[in-house]
A and B are shown apart, each in its own frame.
Chain A
């Protein structure tokens, strides 16, 4: 696997490998010594054009737990704010010998361009590009869902994760909120579908993109109906950006109160769900808008665990991007009679 740019087109085998590797990474993170020597001597650059302390720290932690050298390159106070182009920044990182670049950018496609425009030969890990994709978020969501709804969670993480190897067949996931602008929604729709889950997007029609009909999911405009009649196993709430509701005639819904009434998740709506169902949110939350404090802090909320799992998933992604033989690239061959069971040809 040379790059991780999108979940669209990620094969089921690769997706499960990422989740299984995440499970092994997670197991190491309950140890006293959490650091592994695996990526010693490799350099990971966190290239963040958007402020996202949470995601950057998660990636930084993941890289450091694998003993990689980490360079943080954020847009603020850097040459980027002086007008340097993405291309020139990429050339600089290339010259510095970056092995992997974790990129967060407000422009959809920025990660794809870094990977394919010929500016750079490092592995590229998309940490969120515009409204397009945020694959590690979807992977950590799928990982969290798998642990809770397929495997046996509740232990301290030391034991083997009994969900290793499993997909998410038959599970029902509702993704609720601003789908239109959400890279989290896009990433999750494709990944969860690939893993065999059923997905329903729930949003006001203004926040569903034109063209959604080709996505492998259902769309509903009614949260209560979806919860009551469809009985999802997990409900994933999306963050609603404040600016979406204050655009004057361009606002996407009449008022925060109306949004909250119709699409906010609270204890009342939680009570409608099956007993095993979990509540998720990629963070940061707008408490009182898309999710109530009671729902966010409920025992069935796994929001804090999502954050913890983020480190393991990002360790797995970095491992699978960087641990292999460079020269075999993204299509390591399985030639000859060698068994494939430890060779990963992503």
Chain B
């Protein structure tokens, strides 16, 4: 599956003003590193909040934080959540290998489709692959697992990921890295490593674009869901839970 291309949740108020003041800014690690001015043009629906360089710097910082927090990279296993989380895990792994020569540079993919709590609210999702690095011999027991996702939102995808992990083995510890935390959690879940905390309104859409997946330059874009009634209508679902955390890239 490709969680990076879901529609935004449709629980948004029907027509939020485009100038809505972001609500409930999460207070964790704030990134001051943004060089792309988060300018908002009231006349247009989209604004870029992170550029290519911002994303690169954020990932580098997260890599350092991972090593610092875990006192090295021993037993470290990065698992990306498809689709963009996998690409982010790949980039983190490269950075970690530079920082810690003992780190293999390997990473894995954790598909959470079959663990989601919203399957019946959605059209059928294709099941993706779960791939563990070959060197693990199929087990994650006693590993330090860092889940990697692009956008942390309701927390339901991570809940599913924790269940999926549980079926794969018993890690020593599980941590979470997200490129963007946009708030609006619906479960008691928090990220250990955040690229950028991004105060948003529920009516906004956060899109992460990665060159390797989407083409073009890396970016994180916030847009208003223009005329919410139309563009979210296709999900036909009013639940906040239904769309997970990542936002759509078209």
Contact = CB atoms under 8 A, between A and B. Distances in A.
Interface string A302-346: 000000000000001001100111111000111111110111111
B2 A160 contact: no
Nearest to A25: B127
A160 B236 contact: no
A21 B125 CA distance: 10
B126 A339 contact: no
A61 B227 CA distance: 47
Contacts of A325: 120-124, 236-237
Classify the secondary structure of B's interface with A.
loop
A164 B1 CA distance: 13
Given A20-B126, A158-B132, A336 B2 contact: no
B26 interface: no
B180 interface: no
B159 to A, nearest CB: 11
B114 A342 contact: no
Contact of A341 (B2, B138, B234, B237): B2
Contacts of B132: 158
Given A24-B111, A37-B114, A160-B131, A336 B125 contact: no
Considering residues A156, A316, A344, A345, which has the most beta carbons from chain B within 10 angstroms of its beta carbon? A344
Q: On chain B, which size bracket covers the interface? A: 35 or more
Interface in B203-250: 230-237, 248-250
B233 A17 contact: no
Given A24-B111, A325-B120, A328-B236, A319 B127 contact: yes
A332 B5 contact: no
Interface stretch (A26-34, A135-143, A234-242, A254-262): A26-34
Contacts of A324: 119-120, 122-125
Interface string A161-194: 0001000000000000000000000000000000
B120 A160 contact: no
Given A38-B119, A324-B124, 17 more contacts: A25-B127, A28-B130, A31-B138, A159-B134, A160-B129, A319-B124, A324-B125, A325-B122, A326-B120, A333-B123, A333-B234, A335-B234, A336-B230, A336-B233, A337-B250, A339-B248, A344-B126
Interface of A: 1, 17, 20-21, 23-25, 27-28, 30-33, 35-38, 66, 156, 158-160, 164, 316, 319-320, 323-328, 332-339, 341-346
Interface of B: 1-3, 5-7, 111, 114-115, 119-132, 134, 138, 163, 167-169, 230-237, 248-250
User: Which 8 pairs from chain A and chain B are nearest by CB?
Assistant: A324-B124, A332-B123, A336-B234, A339-B5, A38-B114, A335-B234, A24-B127, A344-B124
